[in-house]
Chains A and B, each alone.
Chain A
Amino acid sequence: MKFQGRKIYQGQAEAEALVTTMGISFYGGVDPDTGMVVERGHELEGQSVSGKVLVFPSGKGSTVGSYTLYRLKHNGLAPSAIVNAECETITAVGCIISEIPCVDQVPIGEIANGVCLRVDGELGTVEIAE
């Protein structure tokens, strides 16, 4: 299955999907030194975003979150790619400065946790690999 979304930031990645129906606040919600989701009560609490295609509806919280993505990238702990239903400023800017492929306007409800996803940021496509 292949979805045509919208390019936010270029680059290709193929990795396991980590999917949540909850918004993510990178500042305070993800530990830049471990890659773990630390927001209390979050569906992904205690799981690592590192190396995954992180799939979530939209970002939230403080604009400092863009720098959290950048810190993750420099610590080698960033997601391989990000897929959103609707990307907002914090995630978009974070992906641009950290050079993380990012696509939005994808029906994320049709993506199951753990499947292998192929993301092409330039073309804005997300494909579930068989």
Chain B
Amino acid sequence: MKLSSEERAMLDGTHSKAVQKAMEILNTLGTIYGAEKMIPVVSVQIAGVSYANLGEAGLQFLSEMADGGGKARVLTTLNPAGMDIENWQALGIDPEFAANQERVIDAFARMGVVTTCSCTPYLFGNVPHFGEHIAWAESSAVCYANSVLGARTNREGGPSALAAALTGRTPAYGFHLHESRAPKVTVVVEADVNENHEFGALGKAIGQKLEAGGKKAVPYIQGVSNASVENLKSFCASIATYGGTALFHMPGITPEAERYAPPPESFSISQAEVEAALDEMNDAEESEVDFVSLGCPHLSIKEIARIAELLEGKQVKKEFWITTARPTKHISDRMGYTAVIEASGAKFATDTCCVVAPISGRFNALATDSAKACYYAYAKNKFKTRLLPFDEVVGEALR
């Protein structure tokens, strides 16, 4: 690793204890992955925000970095927290957990991190453009930034993303380098996918096939002719969860695809395989569903408008969480969507989601349109799942 004089000073502790620790992390990662130098980043997204994952020691680490003079040098936003910061009581969150979660948010705020607490920073204000180098954690946002926006990031963890924030640097390896971004395998989609849950099932089918082949290969995905922002955020979350994929190319949809020809090695995904993936995420009976959630990844304002339209004048019969980011919630408030949705008995769970909130074992079965939410519902929270079209998820809450 060749360090500039400023980077060397950071490593030597000339700046602060926190910056030194941050540069130690980056220097070591650079060495492990054979990076030749550091590169400047313009944006950071930090994961590891829920107190449920951090615990007391994780919080202590963040506090030490804040006390040690750590300050974000570039725009830095946060992943979802374990609760709605302003309205946690309504979600049944334990007061002790809430106090600890607030200490986590406070530590980040002291370091100048923008505490939006969302997995979709690309929907509001943290939006890198084509070719920019960034350091993002949150696997779904990494996949979206690399693939859909054409920005460049590796899959960072919480501490390495924080280290990038405090130094404004990341080691130049992996997806920062042009040659690592070339597709290695062609995926021919022979299935009809239109809605979020179908894109999620497609992401699972492709992701698992890539995993099974032992290939962390960048896929070149043919056969998808149309996809909305909402479809793509669902697809990114799923292929990242089930396949560890950080970058894909989709001709006609993602910006770097036209640079490449389809690689000769290929596999196809049939309609039956997408349907099998859907079936695997539908292990709950309709009668078992006692929890309904939309917003994994966090809902766009377009999706919230649709929920309000479907819930107008009706009453939900089940616990129904609408999970989104604070800026999106503010627009929802102004448009009157929030009033309509809350009048139905559905609850906004802003800043958080059904994946990171401490709700393990609290429900029997979740209805959602998100393949990623299904994975964590099962693995982390021990819920059965029903993966349905968006409108039918709302219908499930009303039933």
Contact: A87 with B61, CB < 8 Å?
no
Which single member of B25, B29, B55, B156 contacts A67 (CB below 8 Å)? Answer: B55
Q: Type the 1/0 row for A39-82, where 1 means its CB is closer than 8 Å to any CB of B.
A: 00000000000000000000000011011001101110000000
Beyond A8-B32, A92-B32, A96-B21, whether A63 also contacts B58 by CB under 8 A is: no
Contact: A71 with B55, CB < 8 Å?
yes
Residues of A1-55 contacting chain B, CB below 8 A: 8-9, 27, 32
Measured between beta carbons, the chain B residues less than 8 angstroms from A88 are: 32
Contact: A93 with B55, CB < 8 Å?
no
Beyond A63-B137, A67-B61, whether A89 also contacts B158 by CB under 8 A is: no
Q: Type the 1/0 row for B299-326, where 1 means its CB is closer than 8 Å to any CB of A.
A: 0000000000000000000000000000
Contact: B32 with A90, CB < 8 Å?
no
Q: Type the 1/0 row for B38-77, where 1 means its CB is closer than 8 Å to any CB of A.
A: 0000000001100001111110110000000000000000
Beyond A32-B55, A74-B60, whether A66 also contacts B157 by CB under 8 A is: yes
A97 contacts B by Cβ under 8 Å: yes
Q: Sample 17 A-B pairs with CB under 8 A, ordered by A number.
A: A63-B137, A64-B47, A64-B53, A67-B55, A67-B58, A67-B61, A70-B57, A70-B61, A74-B60, A89-B29, A89-B160, A92-B32, A93-B25, A93-B28, A93-B160, A96-B25, A97-B21
With an 8 Å Cβ cutoff, the count of chain A residues facing the other chain is 22
Measured between beta carbons, the chain B residues less than 8 angstroms from A93 are: 25, 28-29, 157, 159-160
Known: A63-B47, A96-B21. 9 other contacts (CB 8 A): A63-B155, A63-B156, A63-B160, A67-B61, A70-B58, A93-B157, A96-B28, A97-B25, A97-B61
Contact: A71 with B158, CB < 8 Å?
no
How far is it, in angstroms, between the C-alpha of A75 and the C-alpha of B159 when the chains are bound? Answer: 19
Q: Type the 1/0 row for B168-180, where 1 means its CB is closer than 8 Å to any CB of A.
A: 0000000000000
Nearest opposing residue in chain A for B62, CB measure: A67
* Distance of B216 from chain A, by nearest CB (Å): 12
B24 contacts A by Cβ under 8 Å: yes
How far is it, in angstroms, between the C-alpha of A93 and the C-alpha of B156 when the chains are bound? Answer: 11
Beyond A8-B28, A92-B32, A96-B28, whether A66 also contacts B56 by CB under 8 A is: no
Beyond A63-B47, A96-B25, whether A89 also contacts B157 by CB under 8 A is: yes
Measured between beta carbons, the chain A residues less than 8 angstroms from B137 are: 63
* Distance of B392 from chain A, by nearest CB (Å): 31
* Distance of B183 from chain A, by nearest CB (Å): 23
Measured between beta carbons, the chain A residues less than 8 angstroms from B53 are: 27, 64, 67
Residues of A67-116 contacting chain B, CB below 8 A: 67, 70-71, 73-75, 87-90, 92-93, 96-97, 104
Measured between beta carbons, the chain B residues less than 8 angstroms from A63 are: 47-48, 137, 155-158, 160
**Range of interface residues on B (Cβ < 8 Å):** 20 to 34
Nearest opposing residue in chain A for B52, CB measure: A64
How far is it, in angstroms, between the C-alpha of A13 and the C-alpha of B399 when the chains are bound? Answer: 61
Nearest opposing residue in chain B for A104, CB measure: B32
Nearest opposing residue in chain A for B48, CB measure: A64
Measured between beta carbons, the chain A residues less than 8 angstroms from B160 are: 63, 89, 93
How far is it, in angstroms, between the C-alpha of A67 and the C-alpha of B57 when the chains are bound? Answer: 8
How far is it, in angstroms, between the C-alpha of A64 and the C-alpha of B60 when the chains are bound? Answer: 15
Measured between beta carbons, the chain A residues less than 8 angstroms from B47 are: 63-64
Nearest opposing residue in chain B for A93, CB measure: B159
Contact: A73 with B57, CB < 8 Å?
yes
Measured between beta carbons, the chain A residues less than 8 angstroms from B158 are: 63-64, 66-67
How far is it, in angstroms, between the C-alpha of A70 and the C-alpha of B53 when the chains are bound? Answer: 12
Instruction: Return the 3 tightest CB-CB contacts between A and B, nearest first.
Output: A63-B157, A71-B57, A74-B57
How far is it, in angstroms, between the C-alpha of A125 and the C-alpha of B78 when the chains are bound? Answer: 39
Nearest opposing residue in chain B for A73, CB measure: B57
How far is it, in angstroms, between the C-alpha of A87 and the C-alpha of B29 when the chains are bound? Answer: 10
Nearest opposing residue in chain A for B155, CB measure: A63
Beyond A67-B53, A67-B54, whether A9 also contacts B28 by CB under 8 A is: yes
* Distance of B351 from chain A, by nearest CB (Å): 18
Interface centre among B32, B48, B60, B156 (most CB of A within 10 A): B32
